[in-house]
A = this chain, B = another copy of it.
């Protein structure tokens, strides 16, 4: 399985996903600014993966700081936090991972550790976030695969696969597990314009895993749903709010509406780190608008006349009422149940585990 990111000998290796599937090339980052640029330019993307990248970028940033004492280190880490935080606005994992890294640094400084000890601990913490992410995804797979029956045809949008995460994927975890369990499944992959994460990344992951799949243009999903050729949809999320509203790649809202119209269940795979319990509803999520050149150009070739404008919303928000269940690492929940785990994640979760 392709891996999106790796810490190796003091550098952060980021697989350049903008060149997939045509070329498999790592970018070796030796500064936090390089990591930030990789996030901005979609060399690495996917909410969990950019959380991990931010964590590793933060550790790299600490390494770059020449500090005689821990006070200076903490102080000089502030612009690293800010710089990485501003790389992209929508995914909550980015802020979540940076927050966790910053708290770790402050805790250790408070405990009187040395600068070197803190720097080492930050690398370990980033590695931990990475490892946890894979474990979380496997748990999402267990909870999610219960919704997949033998013979099911599954629609997915964008890439919430191994490449979008530390490994294994969020939306793809139930798919991989169902396949491993011997269920005969077929995956319909939305190409996901403008950046084509579905065509370039999800299709590649499905092919590598040997899972039968069909690539479609985004505007074909509706017709297939209408024709009863899709049994369920699973997507990832960049930020889900307390009330169960789901921000995800542009086009997700359309898929959800079309699923509801055709009475097809619509699932969202969401590690708890992607749920923003501090945010009341989806209308508050900052939605990134990216450059119109992503619309105008495909693989460097212009597809539209010059002298016109384009809009390029990177994400949309699917209201909770369209979501059948949100699949986390601790259970699958109806969107309105999320509130119950808002305070003290993990407490009393058995009570709200979703039974389909």
A303 touches B191 (CB 8 A): yes
Query: Closest approach, in angstroms, between the C-beta of A309 and any C-beta of chain B?
Result: 5
**B contact residues around A223 at 8 Å (CB):** 250, 253-254, 313, 316-317
Closest B residue by C-beta to A20? B305
Instruction: Kindly state the separation between the CA atoms of A312 and B224 in the bound complex, as whole angstroms.
Output: 11
Closest B residue by C-beta to A299? B301
Query: Closest approach, in angstroms, between the C-beta of A113 and any C-beta of chain B?
Result: 47
Task: Check A200 for interface membership: any CB of B closer than 8 A.
Answer: yes
Partner of A253, one of B188, B193, B226: B226
* A11-27 contact mask (Cβ, 8 Å, vs B): 1 or 0: 00000000001100000
**B contact residues around A214 at 8 Å (CB):** 308-311
Decide yes or no: A303 and B199 within 8 Å by CB, A219-B219, A220-B313, A311-B220 being known contacts. Answer: yes
B250 touches A254 (CB 8 A): no
A218 touches B203 (CB 8 A): no
B250 touches A217 (CB 8 A): yes
Task: Check A137 for interface membership: any CB of B closer than 8 A.
Answer: no
Task: Check A70 for interface membership: any CB of B closer than 8 A.
Answer: no
Instruction: Kindly state the separation between the CA atoms of A302 and B220 in the bound complex, as whole angstroms.
Output: 19
B222 touches A254 (CB 8 A): yes
Task: Mark out the residues of chain A between 138 and 178 whose CB falls within 8 Å of any chain B CB in the assembled complex.
Answer: none
* A188-226 contact mask (Cβ, 8 Å, vs B): 1 or 0: 101111101001100110110000011111111111101
**B contact residues around A199 at 8 Å (CB):** 295, 303-304
**B contact residues around A295 at 8 Å (CB):** 191, 199, 215-217
How many copies of the chain does the oligomer comprise?
Answer: 2
B220 touches A251 (CB 8 A): yes
Task: Mark out the residues of chain A between 244 and 265 whose CB falls within 8 Å of any chain B CB in the assembled complex.
Answer: 250-251, 253-254, 257-258, 261
Task: Check A300 for interface membership: any CB of B closer than 8 A.
Answer: yes
Query: Closest approach, in angstroms, between the C-beta of A210 and any C-beta of chain B?
Result: 11
Q: How many residues of A contact B (CB 8 A)?
A: 55
Task: Check A348 for interface membership: any CB of B closer than 8 A.
Answer: no
* A291-329 contact mask (Cβ, 8 Å, vs B): 1 or 0: 010011011111111011111110011000000000000
**B contact residues around A253 at 8 Å (CB):** 222-223, 226
Query: Closest approach, in angstroms, between the C-beta of A130 and any C-beta of chain B?
Result: 26
A222 touches B251 (CB 8 A): yes
Instruction: Kindly state the separation between the CA atoms of A303 and B190 in the bound complex, as whole angstroms.
Output: 13
B203 touches A217 (CB 8 A): no
Closest B residue by C-beta to A300? B301
Instruction: Kindly state the separation between the CA atoms of A65 and B257 in the bound complex, as whole angstroms.
Output: 55
Closest B residue by C-beta to A261? B257
**B contact residues around A217 at 8 Å (CB):** 193-194, 218, 250-251, 295, 312
Instruction: Kindly state the separation between the CA atoms of A22 and B296 in the bound complex, as whole angstroms.
Output: 13
Instruction: Kindly state the separation between the CA atoms of A264 and B313 in the bound complex, as whole angstroms.
Output: 20
Q: A193-B217, A199-B303, A220-B313 provided; 10 other pairs, C-beta below 8 A? A: A21-B305, A199-B304, A206-B308, A214-B311, A216-B311, A216-B312, A221-B254, A222-B254, A224-B311, A254-B254
